[in-house]
Structure 1
Amino acid sequence: MNDAELNRFREIIAARLDALAHEDELGSEGQATVELDQQSVGRLSRMDALQNQAMAKASATRRDIERRRLKAAFGRIDEGEYGYCEDCGDEIAHARLNLDPASQRCVQCAKG
């Protein structure tokens, strides 16, 4: 992979990290503690609020995992290992990296 391609993947990864940070900002309200005052909110409304809170926390966890994968991809770029399958060592198809720039395995190894 040449330097221009690596720079393009750096930009893609950086853009995805920025998008995750923006999603974190939007999702922070949904993770707030649910008020359990029965005078102001009915039982079903509290259940909805708790469900929404759980979904917001699950989304935050998903974003954290994705963030770690993308940062690891930056590390592989710096080490000169980006774009190579961690199992077989073959080059990962650019189309696969375009879809998921944090991919660590080629299609054959990912299938098992």
Structure 2
Amino acid sequence: MIDRKAIREALLARRQMLTRETDLSQLETVELDQTRVGRLSRAAAMQDHQMSLELARRREAMLEAIARTLVRIDEDPDYGLCDDCGEAIAPARLALDPTQLCCVHCAGKREQGSP
């Protein structure tokens, strides 16, 4: 049996942390300095900028997954059951990542492209 309350609290804490990280990264956002001398300096600045954008995209995707999972926990009596086979997702798997939709077996099949 899964502890929905504990999972919900963990998700809320994770959401708060991600929101704080997003707020901090927006404060630290720096425009690319096109006046920096040297190709390597510009290339490094561009790479840093791309990495920042990717981290922001990943944070946003995780925040969306958390929001969907919170709704499922509150409204879906089948939360914790695999979307593919209907079997229970291992509590340890949900404890590690409550946003999981599939059991390990079905997730492996999805990664391999199997139906």
Report TM bin, short chain. 0.7 to 0.9
Q: 1:30 to 1:51 in 2, by over 3 A?
A: farther
Report the CA distance between 1:85 and its aligned residue: 0.8
Percentage of pairs with the same residue = 36
Q: TM-score, normalised by structure 2?
A: 0.83
Tell me the CA shift for residue 107 of structure 1.
0.9
What TM-score results when the alignment is normalised by the length of structure 1?
A: 0.85
Of the three residues 45, 49, 54, the one matched with 2:45 is: 49
The answer on 1:11 being equivalent to 2:9 is yes
Unmatched 5+ stretches in structure 2: 110-115
- The one-letter code of the counterpart of 1:68 is E
- Unaligned runs of 5+ residues in structure 1 are none
* SS at structure 2 position matched to 1:28: helix
* Partner residue in 2 for 1:85: 82
Report the RMSD for the aligned CA atoms in angstroms: 1.6
Partners of 1:85 and 1:106 within 8 A in 2: yes
Q: How many residues align?
A: 107
Counterparts in 2 of 1:4-83, with a 5 A limit? 5-29=3-27, 31-37=29-35, 41-43=36-38, 44-79=40-75, 80-83=77-80
